[in-house]
Amino acid sequence: MKFYTVLANFDMASSSEREVKTFLKQENANKFAEEKWKEFLDCIPRGGALDEEFSDYKEQDELLYFYGTSEDGENFATISVFEDTFADEEQEKKENDFVYLCNECDELYEDETEVCDRCPSESIRVVSRGDMGMF
Ligand SMILES: [Zn+2]
C-alpha cells in the first residue's frame, strides 16, 4: 500500500520549523503541501516576494515540490511530497502467503489452524499459495 509524506521545512529569519505529515491520498498530500507553501508566502516580507533565481516549483509524477527563498534572502522553505510504501509490508505479505491443509480430508483453511473442523484431524500441513498455483 502506498502512502504520501509531506516534508515542510521552514528556515525563517525569526525561527525554524519542521513538519512531517503522512497521507493515504496523494491529493490530500498535495493539498497540504500547497497550504504550507501559501503559509510561507504569507509569512515573508513584501507580500510573498520571492528571489526567483533561488526558488523552484516542480511537479513530478503528480508529486509537488516547492523551494522558496524570500527576496530579502533571509527566509527559506522546502516543501516536498514523497510517495512511499511500508517497509515491513512485503514481509507481512509473505506471511499471508500460506494456506493450511488437513492431511486427512484435504480441507483448506486460510487462517492458521491446528485442528481440522471437518474431520477432525490434528494433522495440518502448511502449503504456500505459489506451490498450489493460487495467488
Ligand atoms: Zn480434515
Residue 112 domain boundaries = 98-128
Residue 106 lies in a domain: yes
Expressed in angstroms and rounded, the spacing between residue 107 Cα and the centre of ligand 1 is 5
Expressed in angstroms and rounded, the spacing between residue 101 Cα and the centre of ligand 1 is 8
Is 79 in the same domain as 111?
A: no
Expressed in angstroms and rounded, the spacing between residue 92 Cα and the centre of ligand 1 is 27
Is 76 in the same domain as 104?
A: no
What's residue 135's pLDDT? 53
Is 71 in the same domain as 121?
A: no
DSSP label at residue 50? B
Expressed in angstroms and rounded, the spacing between residue 132 Cα and the centre of ligand 1 is 18
What's residue 49's pLDDT? 95
Is 7 in the same domain as 67?
A: yes
Expressed in angstroms and rounded, the spacing between residue 104 Cα and the centre of ligand 1 is 5
Expressed in angstroms and rounded, the spacing between residue 103 Cα and the centre of ligand 1 is 7
What's residue 120's pLDDT? 84
Burial bucket for residue 15 (CB in 10 Å: 0-12, 13-18, 19+): exposed
Q: Residues with beta carbon < 5 A to ion ligand 1? A: 102, 104-105, 107, 116, 118-119, 121
Residue 29 lies in a domain: yes
Distance CA 75, CA 36 (A): 14
- Is the model's pTM score more than 0.75? no
Tell which residue, 30, 34, 27, 24, has the closest CA to residue 3: 24
Is 78 in the same domain as 19?
A: yes
Q: How far is CA 68 from CA 37, 77, 83, 109, in A?
A: 9, 5, 21, 56
Is 18 in the same domain as 70?
A: yes
Is 54 in the same domain as 107?
A: no
Is 43 in the same domain as 71?
A: yes
Residue 133 lies in a domain: no
Is 31 in the same domain as 65?
A: yes
Parts of the chain with a pLDDT under 70: 134-135
Is 7 in the same domain as 70?
A: yes
Residue 17 lies in a domain: yes
Residue 41 lies in a domain: yes
Number of structural domains in the chain:
2
Find out whether 43 and 4 touch, Cβ atoms under 8 Å.
Answer: no
